[in-house]
Homo-oligomer: A and B are copies of this chain.
């Protein structure tokens, strides 16, 4: 396994898609020096987008979270989130009634649209259960796990409705050695209990990359072979990028440590085009 510098592979590409967590930032904040990477991309006319499994906030709010950390180049139109896919699904496929959700009020606000009312699972009762036309799992916070997960199981048993999870990750890092259960992990439990499959939006699914590709092509007509997907996780970022036909770069600043990268690549059979220590350009 050869490790190359991120800068050395860039000349080949006209656009770069970045995963967020483990690539641009970690539990401590932004990866130090990240602003130079974006300056370099801008200088060299390379487009960039953030492609992230995150349904807890709107692209605007996600962008603001970068601004607060001092990275102003990440504007909301640069962000492709799995929440956007969930929102598109609801807009197209659910025309009326209530969308029950697990997550914070904030996460629900974003997916609301003209014909739809969102209601936390905790507020579903006999008086409104028959109006519930979809269930969406948005965030692991904002609800009581004991009461609301039990309620969710019974809701899906009673109503034949689509259940959507807008984040395919099982966990997210909290500190260097601790993780937290993500809403994707909770979804796995509910699915196995009720015996139904959720509709999952997020990497490695192609739809995420399609959204990003449309943005890129809106500006200039470039081919898939001119795009690089950068991520820290083999099963989401690299598998998804590979399958969509993009070149891929695995970075070692997040989920995959340097001492385990080669073993993981061999045992999974998921092979990135490049391996880089980080996306930092010195």
Contact = CB atoms under 8 A, between A and B. Distances in A.
Given A153-B179, A181-B149, A269-B196, A245 B89 contact: yes
Most buried by B among A188, A193, A246, A263: A193
Contacts of A88: 245
Contacts of A205: 205-206
A60 interface: no
A85 to B, nearest CB: 9
Task: From A189, A245, A270, name the one whose CB has the most chain B CB atoms within 10 angstroms.
Answer: A189
A163 B268 CA distance: 11
Contacts of A56: none
A146 B143 CA distance: 9
Interface of A: 88-89, 92-93, 144-146, 149-150, 153-154, 156-158, 160-163, 170-171, 177-181, 185-186, 188-189, 192-193, 195-197, 199, 205-207, 210, 224-225, 239, 242-246, 263, 265-271
